[in-house]
Structure 1
Amino acid sequence: MRDDPARFPVDAILADLQRALAAGTRLVLEAPPGAGKTTRVPPALLGADWLAGRKVLLLEPRRIAARAAAEFMAAQAGERVGESVGYRIRFESRVSAATRIEVVTEGILTRMIQDDPELSGVGAILFDEFHERHLHGDLGAALALDVQANLRPDLRLVVMSATLDGERVAAWFDAPRIASEGRSHPVRILHPPARTGEAWPERGWPFGVRRVIETALAEADGDVLVFLPGKREIERVRATLADLGDALDVLPLHGDLALAEQHAALAPAAAGRRRVVLATNVAESSLTLPGVRAVVDLGLAREPRFDPNSGFTRLDTGAISQASADQRAGRAGRLGPGNAYRLWPQSRRLDAERTPEIAQVELSQLALELAAWGTDALRWLDAPPAGALAQARELLRRLGALDADDRIAPLGRRMLALGATPRLGAAVLRADTTHAAFACDVVALVEARNPLRGDAGRNDDFRVRVAALQASRAREGARVREVGAEPKSLAAIVQAADAWRRRCGSGGSRDALAMSTAIRGIAASAAPTTAGSAATAVGDVLVHAFPDRIAKQDGANPRRYTLANGRGARLADDSALYGEPWLVVVDLRQEDRDSLVYAAAPFDPALIERDFATRLVRERSVRWNRDTRAVDAFEQRRFDAIVLERRSVPTRPEDAVPALLAAVRELGLDALPWSDHARELRLRVNALRGWCPELGLPDFSDAALLASLDDWLAPYLTGKRRLDALQAAQLAEALAARIDFAQRRALDEQAPVSLRVPSGMERRIAYADDAPPVLAVKLQELFGLADTPRIAGGRVPLTLHLLSPGGKPVQVTQDLRSFWERTYPEVKKELKGRYPKHPWPDDPWTAVPTHRAKPRGT
């Protein structure tokens, strides 16, 4: 942490903090970077009466920060880590019976609460750097609030952060807020323009970073802290700095470093030397790097996001938030005035706050924890999205981690004890015990970046990756090169696989190597894999991680597959898996119709019967056949959406109606036999419904009719297997049955089919959607009529299409009086010459209306 034992800014508010926790059980502490909250607050609580000799848990979101915090507090107490101050992180623990302050990472806290809900021996939990909003941090806080509310009302809970919405957090936490001053100096913000080809993600971006580092070293004394998104980027920039000078130390800083390398990055520079620390966002908060006077920030971070293509939460590189940018820049102002060089355009606008992980990651791990806890009715700052949580529970049911009632199953409890994601936990826990080490190798490859490069990287047979990993284990360099793998990537995956083996108690590798021998050369074989052979071993492991991605080949198209989740998938034209009848898909590219398979492996379909029996269903199925335009009935046996067996059976009357209704929903209302009368009825009802809503007429729009098919159409489809068996008269009757007697009378009065005009003839009114009703009538038939006819109780004037004796329109109007007065004289002149046998009186007001020509001799 800090190497200066002098007073910290947070010391000024420690007495206020102690009084607040003596009077209440919850508190929100806002303290900017450098205030000292991480290492000064926990020791300040040890003498409190309410603590009664119990432990203080300090929750740190990152392992490197947890270890560093414990080491600093132990050093300030003149002790070694593991005495009064200790830590517990994944795969590492330094605690003892004497430990009073225990620094833990987020997953460790969740396990502690699940294993001992009363938190025996714990008096307080401090949630440090809460603004990072990790999933386990949010879950840990929600669980701790539940424990406090129901089991431990004396438990103290403190949320601490450098950058958070204190008012919102305090409202959620129902707690007072205390703010501390920070220790910082002015920081000059600069946006140096990138040269051609040097902006992220162009090829030359590492040289652009180097150029700005050189500027930072020249413009200020002290060390330079460079923020980069991940280890790969750190190594690329590090390679460009090799010739910067003998007096410069270039040090990486990320969570996967060995302990000695972490200490080197956190220690001050030796006399006469300067340092450039290349860090991920682990250096953004909690950690203080001595000597830093300049920050170079690429503006990127690798954050977890759910990847629907792989089914996992992956680390995705994206822009940081404004809060993160400000916190990073503040690192340059700890010792004195500093500079922060931001490698993005000043015009770019960043999101104000970091998006909580709970809103953007896959939630199966959270759903499993909640099932183990027994409820999800917790007090959340941001509740898990309902859709994502439901999707996660469906996955857990497929994996066997939850039962049909969403209660945790024995396998789910074993997954939690293993501490792995549910998918990978299911793969290793359900693997054959004689092949446990092999299963660990397979899952290590699943969670790693593809180690194959170039053309080999496009090989969609996942078994090639397994063969490459085993060749690396056997130190067969020629074989590694032959399959096109990257040795460094494989070495890292071997380490990850060994960690899996230790976790699962499967340290040996003999079975894995033996299995590798069996699968070598498979990708080059053109023959489909034989079910149950050793060559299905990879898929037999993967099928337990991806039961929703089990895929059966389409009988009509060998490149197409139906997935158990109901989606379709297809192989690339050059697929190494062509001809395989069964696959389990590990990675794919989601597309609107059939997703493209990126990685898969064949498996033994007998595992469906053995390990997924509860997902097998035998049922009668009825469907609409587009080709025959009739209803077909089947008896079928299926695994989720994959049909395993099917045979045709006679259609029962009660079966057909739902299928016919489904066909109408699919094809639309135009698939029905509409008569002119039925169409006109719909138009009249919808028009009058809009003009006179008080009549309460039903909605005859397409959307409303489709939504209510079961009510009005279903009774008229009984006994039918085809839509064309429905007669037009029956359809009209079905529609008319929705209108009662009073409504029908009002309809005929207010929106009549026709209107008697002055000539004594009935002329039809044309109704249309979103247009006024039209009355087309010969001009002479309206002689003597002064005003435009109206319907709907006088509310709606008809649009008159005035026709010549030959039926051609001569005028369109809604103002008949104005037509007679102004337009008729001109129309009369024109039509009198064209139709001399028809009457064209000078005074249309008193003329006799007629639909005939003049009598002979007149």
Structure 2
Amino acid sequence: MLASLLEKLKNNNNVVLQADPGAGKSTVIPLELLEANVLKAQKIVMLEPRRMAAKSIARFLSKQLSETVGQTVGYQIKNDTKLSNSTKIEIVTEGVLLRRLQTDPELTDVGILIFDEFHERSINADLSLMLSLESQQVLREDLKILVMSATIDTSFISSYLHGAPVIKCSGRSFPVTETYMKPVNSRIEINVLKAIQNVIDDEGDILVFLSGIGDIKRCINKAEEFFGSREDIDLLPLHGSLPAEQQDRAITKTFKKKIIFSTNIAETSLTIEGVTCVIDSGLEKVLAYDPSSGMSKLVLSKISKASAEQRKGRAGRLKEGKCIRLWTETEHASLIDYQREEILVSDLSGVVLELANAGFHKYSSINWLTPPPASHFDSSQSLLIKLDLLDDEGRVTSLGKAASSLPVHPRLAKILLSARNSFESQVSCYLAAMLPERDLIKDCHSVDLLLRLEALIEAIQGNGVQSGLNQQALKVVGQDFKVLRNNIPKVDEQFKAEGIQDSVGYLLLSAFPDRLAKRRGLNSCRYKLANGKGVTLQESDPLTSYEYLVVIDSDAQNKEGRIYSAAPFDINILSKHFSEQVVTDTDYEISSSNKIYAHQRKKYGQLIIEEDKSENVPQEFIHDSLVKLIPKDYKKILNWTPECEDWLNRVAWLGGKLDGFPYLNIDLIMGDVANWLLPYLPNIRSISELKSINLFPLLSSILTYRESNLLDSEAPQFYLTPSNKNVRIIYSTVQGPTVSVILQELFGEVRSPMLAGGTIPLRFELLSPAKRPIQITSDLEKFWSGSYVEVAKDMRAKYPKHRWPEKPLEEKPGRSIKPK
């Protein structure tokens, strides 16, 4: 395989490698490429999705060379770098590679980019591959790209890389026996314990895959009930938020039997020495983005077949192993083949900003590996425009360029860039460091962000008691704070936190303009966000005493998501610093005494900040009020007569039938009163005055002289019967123009008159002498020659004193009763 790979890389810029677990993708290929010197002294940069894997692989490769990390092989991950001038192989995480592509699109000293474990399809891996390919095509024709995974859709990736050759390689793993075990209980810890008990006496360590930290804690607590007294067994957690020492303890071989309870962090890349059995819950938690709220929620979901295969492979690295799957074989067949790409379910704000900074701002022009939902792209772009990081066309602004250069989410970058002085610069660094990490305070009674911020400031400055804080989270936040403070020149070393609340409110709303929340009632724990979504606090949370909050984190539920992080907000900040985002709406209503009163609302997004009602509407606003009121209640406000209604029906009907005649309806007419009505009523002061005006002349003047003549000829108000009587025509868009006439009045009328330019026949409702309907027809000629015979026969029996001649067209029209 190695010879084939070197040959392919020599003759091709892009190669796809599918190699089974244990084949040495991560641990052999980088060193072989280095030794073969196919890159002419240029560096090898290998992308790893996870920090723990990046460090572990760097240590392993360095050990192979009998060196320490940072010499020939080094790594660079968030807040941790071990590189030197002699480093030729760099193991980096996705954020690091993105920063490098941003600052040095040519990747000047890089010969090859290796995308390891690409099946995970993280959003940043997709973006990195997209930008790397662009760099290769435009700036670096000699740059080589190698995409590797054990479970990957090779033809799909090959096609994206312009037909890159595919190499497939079997691994050196041992057979793993699969067992499917139907869960016996709804509690995951019970099912896991039962599986452990089945293999506890087997040789080797046990690796248990679980969905998250909560399940890990529950399973360890349950296992301790049965195995806690055994000195030969270690129960160890493994997840990304653990300190490095605890992570190392989980993956390093010891003399004790280890049962390792892990998230999917151990699914790939990491080789955990001693594992011979895998117990797989088949579950994982993924973030799902809701574009309508701009928020995400953690969703528990089933893993894919590819992930199940990766997890199973952990048990066959050293010898034959076992894999117990906590689901049925039938359920396994229904799993999706590959896990959904992160780009399909994630917030795209960072991606959209990076792409705009690289010159790509139109969804349709981007060379997506997997196109995300257009609604997600549009939602993220709208947010970035609202944050002033993009202009109205989606192009990056100068502020956006500055935000893109910072190693944080665009919202957090906006916090950093919104600081107006040294004090706020320091506050912004604390906020941007703290918000992405896990909760700093253990078992806190409130989601109040200010409590955590004050605790963080005291801890970093060495003034506070740290016993109630999450030490690992505090360590990470402290490191991030130092990095961010180095990026921001305006900082105050003698920082004091007094009066911090207003600055926090200002900075948070600058970055979360859609997350201002107003309490729905005086004693309520329910809030409405500026974007219209509902959120809720725990009833016992002291934050419920505040009318306004800025919500930082909330579960994006369909109805009301739970608030996980928020800060109190002084509404006066809105008028002081965000007045341009506050709009004033004025609605007008009619009181029971027929007076006009104004209902004025100051709104921020969908929140009503202030409202006021007044009957003192100035004369200059009377017309404005009528423009809004008349369309909603014209019959109550105007002198709307049957004549007006009849005219409107004729106009609406003819407009839909005759070319060249304007199409009008009640909504269009009443929506235009500012032009056809109000200019002729300059001194109107009240509804009662308006009611006294004869409306019809003004209404009918909407039509031109020619249009009025067309209306009278093609949609006449009356039908003149052969007996010389005018009968009103009823115009309906549903059943057509209809006239109701006693049958004898139509004697001599051979055929139905035609309306609308001769295209629509007049519809007749023929009445008995008692004026009851006896027949409806739009074709008089056919009626006389057809059904009239049966009608007349029936009517002679019912109305013998009335005329029912055999030849109606020869009879004189008029009275129905027979002459004496």
TM over 0.5: yes
Q: After TM superposition, give the deviation of residue 54 of structure 1 in Å.
A: 0.3
Aligned equivalent of 1:154: 142
Which stretch of the first structure deviates more once superposed, 436-445 or 44-53? Answer: 436-445
Paired residue type of 1:240: K
**What secondary structure sits across from 1:419 in the alignment?**
coil
TM-score (norm 1): 0.74
* Counterpart among 187, 207, 227 of residue 209 in structure 2: 227
Please give the alpha-carbon distance, in whole angstroms, between the structure 1 residues aligned to 2:739 and 2:54: 83
Secondary structure of the 1:30 match is strand
Q: Aligned in 2, Cα 1:774/1:48: closer, same or farther, shift over 3 Å?
A: farther
Q: What do residues 766-808 of structure 1 show as CA deviations (whole Å, max 9, x unaligned)?
A: 4544546645333334557788877778876776533221211
Question: Is 2:495 aligned against 1:495?
Answer: no
Counterpart of 1:327 in structure 2 is: 310
Distance 1:438 1:327 in 2: 44
Contact 2:656–2:663 (8 Å) recurs in 1: no
Residue 524 of structure 1: aligned partner: none
User: In structure 2, the residue corresponding to 1:46 is in which secondary structure?
Assistant: helix
Q: Higher mean Cα deviation, 55-64 or 763-772?
A: 763-772
Structure 1 counterpart of 2:341: 356
Q: By how many angstroms is 1:109 displaced?
A: 0.3
Distance 1:768 1:106 in 2: 67
Alignment match, 1:297:
280
Aligned-partner SS, 2:286: strand
What is the match of residue 102 of structure 1?
90
Kindly state the Cα deviation for residue 586 of structure 1 after the two structures are TM-superposed: 3.5
- Secondary structure of 2:657's match? helix
**What TM-score comes out, normalization by structure 2 length?**
0.77
Q: Specify whether residues 609 and 148 from structure 1 end up closer, same or farther in structure 2 by C-alpha distance, changes over 3 A only.
A: farther
Greater Cα offset, 770-779 or 802-811: 770-779
Q: Quote the offset at 1:180 in angstroms.
A: 0.6
CA pair 554-832 structure 1, distance change in 2 beyond 3 A:
same
CA distance in 2, matches of 1:835, 1:756: 25
- Note the C-alpha offset of 1:350: 4.2
The CA deviation string for residues 201-238 of structure 1, in whole angstroms up to 9 with x for no partner, is: xxx321122213333557x7654432212222212212
1:686-725 aligned within 5 A: 688=657, 695=659, 715-716=675-676, 719=679
String of CA shifts for 1:684-713, please: whole Å, max 9, x gaps.
Answer: 236637xxxxx47766578xx66x998x77
Match of 1:251 in 2: 236
The alignment status of 1:318 with 2:301, answered yes or no, reads: yes
Deviation track 1:398-421 (CA, whole Å, cap 9, x = no partner) reads 656567887767765665555222
CA distance in 1, matches of 2:141, 2:455: 55
Separation in 2 of the partners of 1:728 and 1:189?
A: 85
1:169 pairs, out of 153, 157, 164, with 157
**Structure 2 residue matching 1:257: 3-state secondary structure:** coil
Q: After TM superposition, give the deviation of residue 81 of structure 1 in Å.
A: 2.5
Query: How far does residue 467 in structure 1 lie from its aligned partner after superposition?
Result: 6.0
Q: Is this contact kept in 2: 1:631–1:656, CA < 8 A?
A: no
* Cα separation, partners in 2 of 1:155 and 1:558, compared to 1, 3 Å: same
2: CA distance between counterparts of 1:217 and 1:359?
Answer: 40
Equivalent-residue separation in structure 1 for 2:26 and 2:663 (angstroms): 64
Give me the whole-angstrom Cα distance separating, in 1, the residues matched to 2:415 and 2:248.
Answer: 36
Partner of 1:341 in structure 2? 325
> What displacement does 1:125 show?
1.0
Q: Secondary structure at the match of 1:215?
A: helix
> Is the CA contact 1:616–1:640 (under 8 Å) kept in the aligned structure 2?
no
Q: Is the 8 A contact 1:252 1:278 kept in 2?
A: yes
Which residues of 2 match residues 20-31 of structure 1 at below 5 A?
20-31=8-19
1:684 alignment partner AA: W
1:157-210 Cα shifts (integer Å, max 9, x gaps): 233333343333333332323031333677665543333xx32xxxx3211222
Pairwise CA distance, 1:105: 0.5
Does 2:650 align with 1:681?
Answer: yes
Answer yes or no: is the 8 Å Cα contact 1:688–1:747 preserved in 2.
no
How many Å separate the matches in 2 of 1:682 and 1:16? Answer: 81
Match of 1:601 in 2: 567
- Kept in 2, the 8 Å contact 1:54–1:123? The answer is yes
- Cα pair distance change 1:817/1:734, threshold 3 Å: closer
* Cα-to-partner distance string for 1:138-171 (whole Å, 9 max, x where unaligned): 2212221222232222211233333343333333
* 1:809 lines up with 2:773 in the alignment: yes
CA distance in 2 between counterparts of 1:821 and 1:399 reads: 77
2:194 corresponds in structure 1 to 211
**Does residue 281 in structure 1 map to residue 264 in structure 2?**
yes
- 1:606-627 CA distances to partner (integer Å, 9 max, x unpaired)? 76688x5xx5449996744245
Aligned amino acid, residue 362 of structure 1:
D
Contact 1:469/1:490 (<8 A) preserved:
no
> What is the correspondence of 1:42-441 to structure 2 with a 5 Å cutoff?
42-46=30-34, 51-183=39-171, 190-195=179-184, 198-199=185-186, 204-215=187-198, 217=200, 222-242=204-224, 243-244=226-227, 247-267=232-252, 270=255, 274-290=257-273, 292-306=275-289, 315-332=298-315, 335-336=319-320, 338-343=322-327, 346-347=330-331, 349-376=334-361, 378-383=366-371, 387-389=375-377, 391-392=379-380, 395-396=383-384, 415-416=403-404, 418-427=406-415, 430=419, 433=422
Which residue does the alignment assign to 1:529? none
Change beyond 3 A, Cα 1:744–1:256: farther
Name the CA distance, whole Å, in 1 between partners of 2:60 and 2:547: 59
Cα distance change, pair 718–800 in 1 and its aligned pair in 2 (3 A): closer
Aligned CA RMSD, in angstroms, stands at: 5.4
**Contact (CA 8 Å) 1:189, 1:342: kept in 2 or not?**
no
Out of 178-187 and 803-812, give the one that drifted further.
Answer: 178-187
Per the TM alignment, residue 589 of structure 1 is displaced from its structure 2 partner at its CA by: 7.2
Q: Secondary structure at the match of 1:39?
A: coil
1:309–1:590: 8 Å Cα contact kept in structure 2?
A: no
AA partner of residue 479 (structure 2): A
- What is the CA–CA distance in structure 1 between the aligned matches of 2:711 and 2:158, rounded to whole Å? 61
- Displacement of 1:130: 2.4
Aligned counterparts of 1:665 and 1:587: Cα–Cα separation in 2: 42
Cα deviation per residue 1:652-688 (whole Å; 9 max; x = unaligned)?
79x977x877778888999996932344235523663
Q: Hey, what's the Cα distance between the residues in 2 that align with 1:619 and 1:249? A: 59
Q: Which amino acid aligns with 1:38?
A: S
| Whole-angstrom distance in 2 between the partners of 1:805 and 1:328 | 90
Q: Kindly indicate whether the alpha-carbon contact (under 8 Å) linking 1:779 and 1:802 is maintained by their aligned counterparts in 2.
A: yes
Give a deviation string over 1:380-401, Cα, whole Å, max 9, x none: 2235655545544554566565
Residues 288 and 297, structure 2, Cα contact 8 Å, conserved in 1: yes
Structure 1 residues 239 and 688 mapped into 2: Cα distance closer, same or farther (>3 Å)? same
Shift of residue 549 of structure 1?
3.8
Shift in Å, 1:63? 1.0
The alpha-carbon deviation at position 132 of structure 1 amounts to 2.0
> Does structure 2 conserve the Cα–Cα contact (< 8 Å) formed by 1:678 and 1:735?
no
Describe the shift of the 1:77–1:641 C-alpha distance in structure 2 as closer, same or farther (beyond 3 A). same
**Contact 1:633/1:649 (CA < 8 Å) preserved in 2?**
no
Render the CA deviation track for 1:335-386: whole Å, top value 9, x for unaligned: 5474441347945844454333333333333344345445446532235655
Alignment of 1:433-512 (within 5 A): 433=422, 446-448=435-437, 457=445, 459=446, 461-466=448-453, 490-505=470-485
Residue 512 of structure 2 is aligned with which of 537, 543, 546?
546
Q: Is the 8 A contact 2:293 2:556 kept in 1?
A: no
Cα distance, 1:539–1:688 mapped onto 2, change above 3 Å: closer
Gaps of 5+ in 2: none
Q: Secondary structure at the match of 2:236?
A: strand
Cα pair distance change 1:42/1:697, threshold 3 Å: farther
Report the residue type matching 2:815 in the other structure.
Answer: R
